[in-house]
Structure 1
Amino acid sequence: MNRKRALPFALLLAGLMLAPPAASAAETLEERVIRLEKELAELKTLVGRKPSAPSPIAAAPAAPAAPAANPAPPTGIAVTTSSGVRAQLYGFARLDASYDTGQIYPGNIALWAQPENGADSDGEWNLTAGATRLGINLSGPDSENLKLSGNIELDFLGGGTENNLNPRLRHGYLKAYWPASDFSIIAGQTWDLVSSLIPFVDDPGMMWASGNIGTRHPQLRLTKGFAVGEKNRLEIAAAASRTIGEKNSLGIDTGKDADMPTVQGRIALSAPLSDSGKPATIAMSGHYGQEEWDSNKLNHHETIDSWSCNVELSIPLGRKFILAGEYFTGSNLDDYWGGVFQGVNAKGAKPEGIRSSGGWAALRYAYSPAVTISLGGGFDDPENGDLSGMENPRTFNRSLFAAYVNQLTPNFVFGLQLSKWDTGYLNTPDSDAVRAQSSMTYRF
């Protein structure tokens, strides 16, 4: 049997093997033949077509993996389920190695320099595979007016011992999109709306606690796009998200105990500024939520606001350079990695929110399609007056970085980053450290 004639039979055999359990007794022979022919056609389509790129959210250079500076990852492994949903498996195995001239918290990722406590220049090594990631992009089946998609993504930065790490849910959401009206609904866990840019760093810490705020929360999000002129686009989004508070003296989650979810919003304008093909974007975002701090079991409590106002800017400077940055100000921001991860001062007569402001800026240079070089820095500056009475609180945190990322092959990526960290403390001397960090990533 020649190859051309053998291929349909091989595909039919594969279809039989991948098909769901045997049809019910009510299925006629004709119906079974029609169903198998349909599955055969789908398998032929999968064999003959070029894979499509992952969805923007799934392929986004999120924290522990390939940052925005990296080229797009290879296309994942795609299959079609019996219900007609297309599932695309993707991910990578990654090793991060770093050496610190002083102690940096928590170690596997960089957030701030620890107090020296008399141990000046106490260097540390860190090796971890916790940023290894596994994800599934979901899409379809679509109707004439509605497009369905979703994403489920895990990594292994959820704690545990270094050689027995816990899985952690990064994303788990569905998206319903109506193209005709440029309107979408997202339900599940994904990135916050506030300060939505991602710094051009290779370190999995993403400059959290040193100028970058915003993480991932369970949420219900509505987004509406508007055409402004011929090439510009305005996007307005709002979300109700889960508030994750601290444990109060009664052991109650103060965010869950609040009377309302956190409300997030963002408005963004994108417009082309050059022939680079990449639009410039300016956006404003913010959030408001509450935490309920119970003082006893008689419902006596204090309500602590959590809020932020944020500005973000991304500007392509020709075809090879991108300048990006964010600025934030707000209060009780530990749930968003602001305030150097300090949200509420509960040591006074009553708990009070800690105010903070900060931001980051970075410049990325695309030396070639596979090589990028980035420079940048950030700062987070809590109000010192809000820290009184706390045990050795952090009064500021600053970082500078230089990152080099090389996609040696479509599947093998090497990253190198040098960063300087300076952290202030209210009751002990300021601390600083230099980190040399590298990564090796095998994508699929």
Structure 2
Amino acid sequence: MNARGTFRHALLAGILFSAAPGLAAEPSVSTTAIEARINHLERELAELKALVKSSAATSEKPVTSTPLTVSSASGAKVQLYGFARLDGAYDSGKINPGNTAMWVRPENLNNNDGEWNMTAGATRIGINLSGPDTKDIKLSGNIEMDFFGGGTENNQNPRLRHGWLKAYWPASDFSILAGQTWDVNSSLIPFVDDPALMWSGGNIGSRHPQFRLTKGFSAGEKGHVELTAAAARTIGEANTLADTWNTDPGKDAAIPAIQGRIAWSGPVLVADQPATVALSGHYAEEEWDTDKTGTHQTLDSWSCSVELSMPVSRKLTLAGEYFTGTNLDDYFGGIGQGVNTATVREIRSCGGWGAVRYTPSPSVTINMGGGIDDPRDSDLAAGGRKVNGTIFANIINKITPDLILGIQLSEWRTGYLNSGTAEALRAQSSLTYKF
């Protein structure tokens, strides 16, 4: 018996069963009449199915997917998100490290030798956690990774980007965060399409394990002030001055880095798009052992940054940062140079970035800007990178809300102590599928 026949007989049996009292009272109702009723119902069902399909095909509002959300045994909501992404770039000279851009290699190692890079390492997967909340506390968390953790180009290793939990008390606008996430200091992100985010080219700040406290205050009718302090992990260069154990001088210092930020946010030029002005910084120490008997030098690491994000109109935003500090390689400052190991002294550096974002339509964003990182020449070892700058322009096009094309052009110039300046142009593109 086919499926249609099975359905018809089951429906017939159900109708007979439900109609049994009536049939007993009305023996004149025939099986033929019941069959006719079934045929009528089936025709109506087919018409309804056709109508639904037609409505879905002609609807002006497309059906959009919602994030996959499930509940855990504890009652917490778990939301999966991420994207698959491919980056490709042509460089007119050798740009370090290649898949991303940070500085140009010395001219004697470059020789205007072009390169082509392609990677899927920026592909990202994450989980947002929320709840269960109490009357006073809201719980949240995040676990996120990409694939820039090493390995080979077609067998890349996962890398933890974020892994944190947060408890928030809404009544007092106070929160505690514990785990790994973005640093408190220099928290703005440039408007670039390169996953390296202009590190070593004017932007500092990274991600570190930390314990963070944040307190918010109202400032006027629509303004908000936020104070943040954190104790974070310090990660230093491998120290081989005393032995071959590659001791981490950040860990050897036996104290955490202290990060802090004060920020004001509120409407200035655009009523529903707040501007933000912030002052931030950090202080840390590194203990550099110079022999096997425990003789050491304690070197400082510190930064001070000014941050600005200013919507000029609903479609135009200006943003930028300025920084100054010492021993900033752990925060991608000093063009990746923190300590001159020949003299065991800190390398001082300053710089910053500025950018403008224009959004002509909800699906298109145009960005341009530049940055510079300028270590102090007298602090550098022979052949050190003494200045690094870049300018960029890009366009980000949402082909659909979930399919995004990025195209970026940038120029990089890196000066070397007593070795001239190396230059390279970079043309790159990205294709991203969000989920």
Report the TM-score, using the length of structure 1 for normalisation: 0.82
Q: Aligned pair 1:105/2:66, yes or no? A: no
Question: Deviations 1:295-330 (Å, cap 9, x if unpaired)?
Answer: 123221000000001000000011000000000000
Among residues 187, 205, 209, which one is paired with 1:196 in the alignment? 187
Alignment counterpart, residue 314 of structure 1, candidates 286, 292, 309: 309
The answer for the alignment partner of 2:359 in structure 1 is 366
Q: Could you tell me which of 62, 68, 85 is aligned with 1:77?
A: 68
| Counterpart Cα distance in 2 of 1:357 and 1:228 | 32
Q: Which has the larger radius of gyration?
A: 2
Indicate yes or no: 2:91 matched with 1:96.
no
Query: What is the SS of the residue equivalent to 2:108?
Result: coil
User: What residue number does 1:124 align with?
Assistant: 115
Question: Given that residues 74 and 443 in structure 1 are in contact (C-alpha distance below 8 angstroms), is that contact kept between their aligned partners in structure 2?
Answer: no
- Name 1:303's counterpart in structure 2: 298
1:76–1:91 contact (8 Å) kept in structure 2: no
Structure 1 residue 411: deviation in Å? 1.2
Identity of aligned pairs, percent? 63
Give the structure with the higher percent helix.
Answer: 2
Indicate if the aligned counterparts of 1:271 and 1:280 stay in contact, CA closer than 8 A: yes
* Partners of 2:323 and 2:70 in 1: CA distance: 42
Cα distance, 1:313–1:118 mapped onto 2, change above 3 Å: closer
1:76 Cα deviation after fit: 2.9
The one-letter code of the counterpart of 2:379 is D
**Distance (Å, rounded) in 2 between the aligned partners of 1:118 and 1:87:** 49
The answer to whether the Cα contact below 8 Å between 1:74 and 1:411 also exists between their aligned partners in 2 is no
CA positional deviation for 1:377? 0.1
Q: Is the 8 A contact 1:354 1:386 kept in 2?
A: yes
Amino acid at match of 1:367: P
Residue in 1 aligned with 2:29?
A: none
1:181 is the counterpart of 2:172: yes
SS in 2 for 1:243: coil
CA spacing shift, 1:184–1:118, aligned 2, 3 Å: closer
Displacement after TM superposition at 1:274 (Å):
3.0
Root mean square deviation, CA, Å: 1.4
Question: In the alignment, which residue of structure 1 is the partner of 2:431?
Answer: 440
Q: Residues 258-308 of structure 1: CA distance to partner in whole angstroms, max 9, x if unpaired?
A: 031000000000110134511011000000000000112322100000000
Which residue of structure 1 lines up, in the alignment, with residue 345 of structure 2? 352
Question: Could you tell me which amino acid in structure 1 is paired with residue 266 of structure 2?
Answer: A
Matches of 1:244 and 1:259 in 2, distance apart? 12
What is the distance in 1 between the residues matched to 2:161 and 2:110?
36
- Aligned mate of 2:330, from 328, 335, 356: 335
Aligned mates of 2:66, 2:275 — CA distance in 1: 27
**Aligned with 1:238 (options 226, 229, 232):** 229
Paired residues in the alignment total 369
Q: In the aligned structure 1, how far is the partner of 2:268 from the partner of 2:310?
A: 8
C-alpha distance in 2 between matches for 1:268 and 1:92: 31
Is the deviation greater in 280-289 or in 420-429?
420-429
Deviations 1:312-351 (A, max 9, x none): 0000011000000000000000000000010000102xx1
SS state at 2:171 partner? helix
Aligned amino acid, residue 342 of structure 1: Q
| 1:74/1:101 CA distance change after superposition, 3 Å | farther
**Contact preservation (8 Å) 1:140, 1:147:** yes
In structure 1, runs of 5+ residues without a counterpart are 1-72
Please name the residue that 1:404 is paired with. Answer: 395
Alpha-carbon separation, structure 1, partners of 2:129 and 2:65? 17
Q: Is 1:276–1:318's contact at 8 Å kept on the other side of the alignment?
A: no
3-state SS of 1:340 partner: helix
Correspondence 1:138 to 2:133:
no
Who is 2:144 aligned against?
153
- 2-structure distance, mates of 1:403, 1:393: 30
Are 2:94 and 2:110, in contact at CA under 8 Å, matched by a contact in 1? no
The answer to whether the 8 Å contact 1:98/1:126 transfers is yes
Where 2:378 maps in the other structure, the secondary structure is helix
Query: What is the deviation of 1:116?
Result: 2.0
**Matched AA of 1:433:** A
Note the alpha carbon deviations across 1:70-124, whole angstroms, 9 max, x for none.
xxx9853111112101000000110000000111000000001111216432110
SS at match of 2:420: coil
* SS across alignment from 1:194: coil
- The residue type equivalent to 1:221 in the other structure is R
List per-residue Cα deviations over 1:173-212 (Å, max 9, x = no partner). Answer: 0000000000000000000011100000001110000100
Q: 2:70, 2:339 → 1: CA distance?
A: 47
Aligned pairs (5 A) from 1:16-35: none
Change (3 A) 1:74 1:252: farther
Deviation of the 1:392 alpha carbon: 1.9
Measured in 2, the distance between the counterparts of 1:434 and 1:140 equals 48
Q: Deviations over 1:199-244 (max 9, x none)?
A: 0000111000010000000000000000011100000000000000
Q: Supply the distance in 1 between the matched residues of 2:257 and 2:210 (Cα, whole angstroms).
A: 9
Q: What secondary structure does 1:324 align onto?
A: strand
Are residues 1:415 and 2:406 paired? yes
1:257 aligns with 2:268: no
